[in-house]
Amino acid sequence: MKEKIMGLRINDTVPNFTAETDQGTIQFHDWIGDNWAILFSHPKDFTPVCTTEFGAVAQLADEWEKRGTKVIGVSVDGVEDHKKWKSDIEKVGGAKAGFPIIADEGLAVSKAFDMLPAEAYLPDGRTPADSATVRSVFIIGPDKQLKLSMTYPMTVGRNFAEVVRALDGLQMSAKGVATPANWVPGEDVIIPPSVSNEDAKAKFGEFETVLPYLRKTKAPT
């Protein structure tokens, strides 16, 4: 039985690479800088679900900025296709698509992030199905480590309200707490079990003990 090689794991440092985008050449870690970053991949430009998704990304420009987060797309199409496609994105989303899109024609980025198998190649006259696995979201911290990843099938558009909520949860958890199911900003957070009651009171003040291992407190600012 062939052993499966694991791809990127949570808290791995993400690959650094140089790539062409519709806004010029980037060096990925330099492009991230001290920000949070989200890498969105899609199978092919000029396809219906992907166009609605990137329209949603464009609509959220102010939300990304508020959270100190840079967003970037990637597909295996070329720079000129990306530039042409952006007019469709802006038409559907009703907002300027100001984020760059990586032209991963050689598949280097898709393979580095384990979105396509190492032996993958693009046939002539490819369809979106030929790169169907390139449909992922990667949230990356300022430390260049992978904080969260999601992969979707071809037929289900991504829920960008959930992407924003997950980003909020990650940024909150960086303050030494955890977030419960369905958490949104403004709600109470969870004190990690590794923190003693004495230390919890010193750090967070009052807290509620729901169960011996489940303690809630106001979200730190």
Give me the catalytic one of 50, 115, 163, 191.
50
39 is an active site residue: no
Three-state secondary-structure class, residue 127: coil
* Integer CA distances (angstroms), 114 to 6, 37, 120, 128, 168, in order: 8, 18, 11, 17, 25
Coil, helix or strand at residue 133: coil
Q: Determine the Cα–Cα distance for residues 192 and 195; give it in Å rounded to an integer.
A: 6
Strand order in the sheet with 69-75: 24-27, 18-21, 101-103, 69-75, 36-41, 136-140, 146-151
The alpha carbon of 12 is separated from its chain's Cα centroid by a whole number of angstroms, namely 14
> How many CB atoms within 10 Å of residue 108?
14
Catalytic machinery residues: 50
